[in-house]
Amino acid sequence: MSSTQENTAGPAADTGTEAAAVVAEAEAVTEAEGVAAQAMAATASTYPVAPGYRLNVRSGPSSRASLVRQLPYGARVAIRCQRHGERVGGPYGTSDLWDCIAPGQYVSDSYIRTGSDGLVAPLCAN
């Protein structure tokens, strides 16, 4: 009988080991998919500045607002929210929309390729 028990225990132990390996593999795949999804979301939620422009970042939604910094050629921006301000013409048309890219930092939407003439983010609260 002991040989029968050994044979029964052997496959059961193998099945347990196989199940643990399957679970570990599934967890690794899920983690890799999560990392890929985060990378895709980061790319999808940023928009390119018009080619050939070093875009001025302003403290408010106006070309008269103080200059905060200048974005380099080829920059991409994440738009936190949008607000109406001074009407500005740029490579993507004329618009009064300004994109808030960080607290107190705005760029004219007419220099950002959003693929839309309207809002692509919520209106800024203030």
Q: What is the pLDDT of residues 13-25, one digit of tens each?
A: 455 556 555 555 5
d(CA 100, CA 19) in angstroms, rounded, equals 50
Q: Rounded to 5, what percent of the chain is helix, strand, coil? A: 35, 30, 30
Q: How confident is the model at residue 107 (pLDDT cuts 50, 70, 90)?
A: very high
d(CA 107, CA 92) in angstroms, rounded, equals 13
For tokens 């080991």, what's the residue?
17
For tokens 């309207």, what's the residue?
118
47-76 pLDDT, tens digit per residue, is: 999 999 999 999 999 999 999 999 999 999
pLDDT at 45: 85
pTM, whole model, 2 decimals? 0.66
Flag whether pLDDT at 35 surpasses 60: no
* Neighbouring C-beta atoms of residue 107, cutoff 10 Å: 25
Question: For the ranges 28-32, 52-56, 117-121, which has the lowest average pLDDT?
Answer: 28-32
Flag whether pLDDT at 112 surpasses 90: yes
